[in-house]
Amino acid sequence: IPNGVDCELFRPATRTPGEGGWRLIYSGRYDPAKGLDELLQALQGLRAEGRDVHLDLVGGGATALRNDFPERAAQLGVADRVRFIDEVPWQQMPALFGAADIFVLPSHSEGLPLSLLEAFACGLPVVTTRCGGPEEVVDASMGRLAEPRDVPGLQAALAATIDDYGSYDRGHIRRVAERRFDYRAVARRIHSVYEEACVGRSR
């Protein structure tokens, strides 16, 4: 049974994809294990291709980890395209997702993170890695998968998602989230498991 997301709170926005440049969003810890260095390198590569791409990194204050990523972004020449947004109340996350076109999670290892499900609920195509959990839920209709720590592969997956953006049905992505990951549906599944277990014990 997966994590659950509030599909009433997390909803698709009305942003026109690519308007004012393509906007990527990451939500999570500022942790090297989340693949942020690889993501900044991929952003550098996308800019070298002449693509107008911007990146929001949300969640820096969630841990006491040292944040060297602003310096790394400057070193790679992409500081003007990256916003470092500190940890925010979860009620503010839908607006940040609503300002984005693509959710990206380039982790080295993951289960099934809530941020991925929140992106689905907002109808965002995703680019993530085959790092444990994401490959169980991300198919070609939802986004693309790259290998962990593979900068060229991540860059190519992001470029392909931008180039083929019109092939994604954001309504479909949203419907999958409602059917599989809305917390009400998840609660019903949990209730069913407990009910079955209780009936089994009473026999």
Whether residue 90 is predicted with pLDDT greater than 80 in this model: the reply is yes
In this prediction, residues 1-9 reach a mean pLDDT of 88
* Confidence band for 202, pLDDT divided at 50, 70 and 90: low
CB-CB contact of 33 with 106 (8 Å): no
In whole angstroms, what is the distance from residue 85 CA to residue 96 CA? 10
* pLDDT for the residue numbered 65: 67
**Residue whose token pair is 């809305």:** 182
C-alpha to C-alpha distance for 155 and 147, rounded to whole angstroms: 11
Place of tokens 């209780």: 198
Backbone phi, psi, residue 185, to 5°: -65, -40
Q: What is the pLDDT of residues 29-85, one digit of tens each?
A: 999 999 999 999 999 999 999 999 999 999 876 666 678 999 999 999 999 999 999
Question: 67 vs 16, which has greater pLDDT?
Answer: 16
User: According to the model, what pLDDT value does residue 184 have?
Assistant: 87
Do residues 18 and 101 make contact, with C-beta atoms less than 8 angstroms apart?
Answer: yes
In 3D, which of 38, 76, 29, 80 has the Cα closest to residue 57? 29
Three-state DSSP at 104 gives strand
Predicted local confidence at residue 185, as pLDDT: 85
Among the ranges given (44-48, 176-180, 183-187), the one the predictor scored with the smallest mean pLDDT: 183-187
Contact status, residue 119 vs residue 6, Cβ threshold 8 Å: no
Over residues 116-131, mean pLDDT: 97
